[in-house]
Each structure stands twice: as C-alpha cells, then as structure tokens.
Amino acid sequence: MTSTRRLNVSRWLARVGLALSVVLLFAATASAASTLETVRARGKLLCGSTDPLPGFAQQNADGRWSGFDVDFCRAVSAAVFGDPDKVDFVPLTGSSRFALLQTGAVDLFARDAAWTMRRDSGYGASYVGASFFDGQGFMVDQKLNVVSAYELNKLRVCVLDGGDEVLNVQDFFFQNQAAYTEVLYEDRDDLTVAYQAGLCDAVSANASWLYAMKRTLPNPATRVILPERISKDSFGPVVRDGDDQWFNIVKWTLFTLIDAEEVGITEANIGSLAAAKTPVIRRMLGLSGTFGAGMGLSPDFMKNIIAGVGNYGEIFDRNFGGNTGVPMLRGQNALWTRGGLLFAPPVK
Amino acid sequence: MWGRMPIRLLAFSIIIVATLCGIARAETLASVKARGTVQCGVADSTPGFSAVQVNGNWTGLGADYCRALAATIFNDPGKARFVPLQPDERVAALTSGKVDTFADLVPWTLHADTDEGVKFVATMFYDGQTFMVTKASALKSARDLAGKTVCVEANTEAEAEASEYFDANNIRAKLVSITGREALAASYIDGSCAAITAATSILAGMREALPVPTDNILLPDVITKRPLAVVVAQGDDRWFDVARWTFYALLDAEELGVTQTNVDEMLGSDNISVRRFLGVEGDFGASIGLNKDWAYQLIKGVGNYADVFDRDVGDESPLKLPRGLNALWNKGGIQYSPPVR
C-alpha cells in the first residue's frame, strides 16, 4: 500500500517537474527578451538578497532594508529609474536562489555565495564582477592579546562543518606547526551561541560573516578580527544569462560606484559640480558624451547613481564605517590606487 | 521527506533548462569545434602584445591568449588561427562570427563595452599612458617636461589625454602631434622631440626598435588607466564562459604554483585546489562544454599567466616590462581570479 502510494506521488512529482521544466524554459526564453523592459514596465526592481547579514543586508522594525548589498540594489534602481527607492527586496535561501533568478522572480542578486567557476558557469547565471573581496579569517577575544593569526596556538577553534572552511583551518595550523582543537558546528546560529558561551577561543569563517557576527555580539569592541586571510573569496552581483544589456547595466552600476570614488565625485559634492571642467567629471555627470544609450539608459545614469547612493567609499563607510560602532578596514576593498583590488575601466 | 522532493525536482528542472539554454546559445563553441580551429582577428601590430614574425608566426600576450583557447578546446595550442583585419572591420568580423575573439587586446572603456555589441571578458594587461625620454636628457618625471617638446601620435586617445594631463597639472610642455607611429619614432630619434607619450605597451615596443634601446627610459608617471582586455561577441553566454574561465585559469595556475614545466608532476599533488584545477578530482570542464582536463591542457600548452607574461613582455622578452599592477593580487598587483571550484 505504502509503496503504491509512493509510486503515485513520485509519478505526480515527475509530472510536476516536467511541467515546471516547460514553464521555466518559456520563462527563461521570454525573460531573455529584455530585463530592462520588464523592470521598467513593472515600475520597480526586484533584488534578491541572501538571509539577513548585519552590515550587508538587514531589515528594521518598519520592514525597511538597509546595508551594503541593499545599497547596491538601490544603485541599480537609480541607474534605471533615476530613483534609488524603486526596488523591492526578496529574501532568498539556499537552493532556490538560481531558480528565482531563472524564472524572473528576481532581476539580480546583489550578493550570492562566493564567486566560483561552478556558480558562474553551471546555473545559467553570471557574476558581473566583484563588489566585495573576502576570505576566511579568524576572530578572537581581545583579552587573548593576539594581533596575528600566526600567533594562534593551543586553543579551541569553532568552525562551520561541511565545507572548505575546516580544511583551510587544518592546512593553516599544519603549515604553521601550531596546535588547536577543532569545534565543529553545522549551523551558524549554534556556532555563534557556542562562541559567545566561551566554548571556543576563536572562530574561523569568511571575514564578512565574522564581521556580521561581531556586530550581533554584546561588546563587539572586545572582539578582534585578525588581518590574515587563509582563503580567497569574492562576492558580487549575479544576473541570469541571456541578456547582455542587463549584464552591462548591473556591471556599469558597479563600475560607476568605483570610478566615482576614484574621480572624487560624492553624494555630498555632486550638486556643486555642474560647472566642473575636468573632462572625466563632465562625462560621468552626463554633461558631455552620450554614454548609456547602448544600454538603454539615459545619459545622466551615472549622476543618478551617485546622487542616489553615493560612491563606493561612501556606501562602505555608511554600512561598515565608524558610525556603525563596529568599523571594518577597507583592506582589499580599497581602490587599486590605494593598495586595494577595486578597479573599474574608465568612463570614456 | 516529501517536503524536500519538489525542491530537488525544481533544482533538476533548473539544471535542465540551464543546459537547454546553454545548448541553444552554444553556437560559437560548437562552430569552433566543428571547424577544428579558433579564429582570432588581429588588426593592430604591437611587439609583445600582437606581432607577426618574419616566419608568419604571431607572438604576444593576445596571440598567446588565442593559443590558450585552442589548448583548452583542442588540447593543442597549434589550432589557433590568426586572421588579419582592417581596424574598421574588426567589430563586424567579431559580431558576424568571422572571428571568435581578437588576438590583439582592446582598451576597455564604457563606450567600447556598451555601444558596439561586443562583450569584454577580462583585463589581461593593466596598461597606462606614460612618457619615454633619453637617459642623457636627465628628465626624471613628468614635471620636468615643462618647457620641453613632447610628441604624440595625432588622432589618438593619447593626444587628448596628454593635453588634459598637462592642463590639469599645470605643466607647460609643448605638445606636438605627429601623424603615424613611424614618423613619431623618427622625430624622437632625430631629437626634435624631447619626449614621446603613449601607452606603456606601445612605448616599450618603440623603445625596443630604437638603435640603442637601453639609452632610453620610461618615466614613472602613469597618467591614465588603460585596461587591455579580451573581447568576444555578445549573445553567447557559453562562449563568454569559455573565454572568461580560460583567462582565469591562467591566473589560478600561477597562484597555485602550477607551471608549464611542473604541470605533469602536479597531477600527483595532495592539494585539493590543485587536484580540482587539473581535473584529477571533480569535473569542472562540463559546465563550459569542455573536457575535465581542460585546465591541464591549457597550462601544458601555453603555461600559466606568469609563464606567458615573462615570455611575451617580461624578463624573458626584449621588452622587460615589470609585473607592476599585473602581479597577482597577493603579490602587490591587482590580477585576481575566482577559483576553479
């Protein structure tokens, strides 16, 4: 009886799967037409964000989203509508992310899992570029009096199980001939509780997640994220394949934020630059040249982005700066001219 | 238990759809495979970047990128073909499918990226405009050019950039435009120009062609950013992925310490990242329509980024350009690639 029932359910599910495939195929084909037109007709952008991550994406009591990744979505909204607020945020979880992008339930992710070859090429989606350079690090208590990961020895390290994190920590301690005790957790929340309860002396995870965790802990100033990175990870906006115009719009939104910081155009000074003579400033403000037409955007799209959300450095400061009480160093996320890795092709 | 099943099926459906979409658009890779060669258009001749030798061989960074594609697809860098193009026909040749990419790298700008129907893949060489002077002149920086005659090729972006730079920095140099790169070189040799200005990639080659190259230096001032990039046509995500990951694999190999010399030895490495990269563990070629040893074939065929850089423009080449910004991100430069994972 049970087996027959299971068979029927399986058959039913198989049919659903087939139907979904067909629907998705059409959806994918239809959405390949023009994401920009769809977004314009809808009157707002649908931006996928991962689970709330303090500093990157969080919701206040009124339901309003803020954060580094949220500001990127707002920048795309400013590029398309001339208004940073025409955007709805769609929280995403684990396995359904690429499905939502494929079906058109979201127009982009501001941040997905770390950029890898498999995610970039295997799911009908592409990363437009890196908006945040990251890597696995360590967080310890200030009272340990440690300033470098190379000083870590004979302590308990909490790590998330099931990924490369455990292997990275093993490699690191093996190569440094240092001793440690592995304390593994399958769940981030459990790990946070364990660390707070003193069940481990250090936590090792992606620096961005360590940072987010630090913000949620009491007395964040007593926790130190050590400067070393034992892996290389980058995060960035992801769009579905099949629409190069949209790929370019999201990519040049990111490049505009970076170029604006390099050129010195800010949310604060942009109103006073109308008489600027510097050619690149004039181009970025839409005062000379006809940039944007090839993407279906108005010539002042860069001006709208900067006026709406500021440049990359301003977004970084707003979400990770001293005003948050938990400042993050720019590190690799500084401009290429200042020792970091952020680079954008020139506006010309 | 049942609650999880639809999600798996949904995920399965997504993969099917993604695969179908991939196949539907996989025209370039399919036609390259059917043709048996990668066709790389080339309009610009610049030593170290894209230059034809007396024997008809093309050399340079861009030419080696073309061979890199051939190595990943055919396990044979010799399957690269170089198609000479006129400058005004190059974009049409790419978008019409006459060529699959270019063997001369293209300056990546907002205009070039969004107004011409092409798609920029990645920056292979971070370039920038600078100045060449004779050592005898004792000129040490751009500031010293005040009152001097600085020559530039007419009707180039370098002409406008130099003028903007001198204005913005209040350097009263006399900027003289000369038509054609050969005439520019001649004016420098006969001493009528105290300095010439152009991109580092161009000046390095011009210096090499001078009677005594080592009597000349490039000033440390780099006045523009000029990323020279790999380009493909729009509308083919599969081909974009092949082009993108072929380039990233060159960087990943350097970072992992996999070189043209040691690649066979590295097949026995214990390092999980190296094993994945070389296809010993897992299969990362399938998602871009290639064999699982694609990266092994790439490094075996042309070497990693450092191998290519040294051979074409670095220490082993006449140009002797320093890595500078083109060093890896963890060695003081900004060349960065996501991992093969």
pLDDT for res A111:
85
Distance CA(B104)–CA(B228), nearest Å, equals: 9
- What's the mean per-residue pLDDT of chain B? 93
pLDDT for res A33:
62
Spell out the per-residue pLDDT of chain A, length 348, in tens.
334 444 454 555 455 454 455 444 444 444 456 999 999 999 999 999 767 889 999 999 998 999 999 999 999 999 999 999 999 998 776 667 888 898 899 999 998 789 999 999 999 999 999 999 999 999 999 999 999 999 999 999 999 998 889 999 999 999 999 999 999 999 989 999 999 999 999 999 999 999 999 999 999 999 999 999 999 999 999 999 999 999 999 999 999 999 999 999 999 999 999 999 999 999 999 999 999 999 999 999 999 999 999 999 999 999 999 999 999 999 999 999 999 999 999 999
pLDDT for res B19:
46
Query: What tens digit of pLDDT does each residue of B239-298 get?
Result: 999 999 999 999 999 999 999 999 999 999 999 899 999 999 999 999 999 999 999 999
A161 touches chain B (CB under 8 A): no
pLDDT for res A343:
98
B23 touches chain A (CB under 8 A): no
Q: How far is B229 from chain A (nearest CA, A)?
A: 10
- Select the residue of A17, A115, A336 nearest B12 (Cβ to Cβ): A17
pLDDT for res A94:
64
Interface of A with B in 300-319 (CB under 8 A): none
A335: nearest CA partner in chain B: B334
- Give just the sign of the alpha carbon dihedral B162, B213, B204, B189: positive
C-alpha separations of A35 from A85, A102, A107 in Å: 18, 12, 7
Q: Cβ contact (<8 Å) for B334 and A25?
A: no
C-alpha separations of B93 from A254, B25, B43, B118, B239 in Å: 30, 19, 11, 11, 16
Strand partners, A182: A157
| Alpha helices by DSSP H, A122-263 | 164-175, 188-196, 207-216, 244-263
Residue A157 · residue A226 · CB < 8 Å:
no
Q: How far is A342 from chain B (nearest CA, A)?
A: 8
Residues found in chain B: 341
Q: Cβ contact (<8 Å) for B110 and A123?
A: no
Farthest-apart Cα atoms in chain B, separation: 83
- What is the rounded average pLDDT of the residues B125-133? 98
- What is the rounded average pLDDT of the residues B184-208? 97
Which of A122, A184, A174 shows the shortest CA–CA distance to A153? A174
Query: What tens digit of pLDDT does each residue of A95-109 get?
Result: 678 888 988 999 999
Query: What tens digit of pLDDT does each residue of B37-65 get?
Result: 999 999 988 999 999 998 989 999 999 99
Distance CA(B25)–CA(B109), nearest Å, equals: 26
User: Long-range pairs for B12-17 at CB < 8 Å and ≥24 separation?
Assistant: B12/A17, B13/A17, B13/A20, B13/A21, B13/A24, B14/A24, B14/A98, B14/A99, B14/A102, B14/A123, B14/A124, B15/A122, B15/A123, B16/A21, B17/A21, B17/A24, B17/A25, B17/A28, B17/A102, B17/A124
| Region label for A292, one of left (φ > 0), alpha (ψ between -120 and 50) or beta (otherwise) | left
pLDDT for res B5:
44
B168 touches chain A (CB under 8 A): yes
DSSP A285: T
A230: nearest CA partner in chain B: B330
Percent of residues, chain B, with pLDDT higher than 90? 90
Distant-in-sequence, close-in-space partners of A317: CB < 8 Å, separation ≥ 6: A323
Residue A7 C-beta-side C-alpha neighbours within 13 Å: 4
pLDDT for res B13:
52
Q: What count of CB pairs under 8 Å joins A to B?
A: 154
Residue B116 · residue B109 · CB < 8 Å:
no
Report pTM.
Answer: 0.91
Query: What tens digit of pLDDT does each residue of B147-161 get?
Result: 999 999 999 999 999
pLDDT for res A49:
76
How many Cβ atoms sit within 10 Å of the Cβ of residue B5? 14
Q: Which two tokens stand for residue B302?
A: 């042309």
pLDDT for res B44:
85
pLDDT for res B21:
44
Q: How far is B293 from chain A (nearest CA, A)?
A: 15
Give the H or E element holding residue B13: helix B5-25
Chain centre to alpha carbon of residue A135: 13
A348 touches chain B (CB under 8 A): yes
Distance CA(B230)–CA(B125), nearest Å, equals: 10
C-alpha separations of A82 from A44, A55, A85, A256 in Å: 11, 25, 9, 14
pLDDT for res B259:
98
Residue A304 · residue A286 · CB < 8 Å:
no
Q: Which amino acid is at B331?
A: K
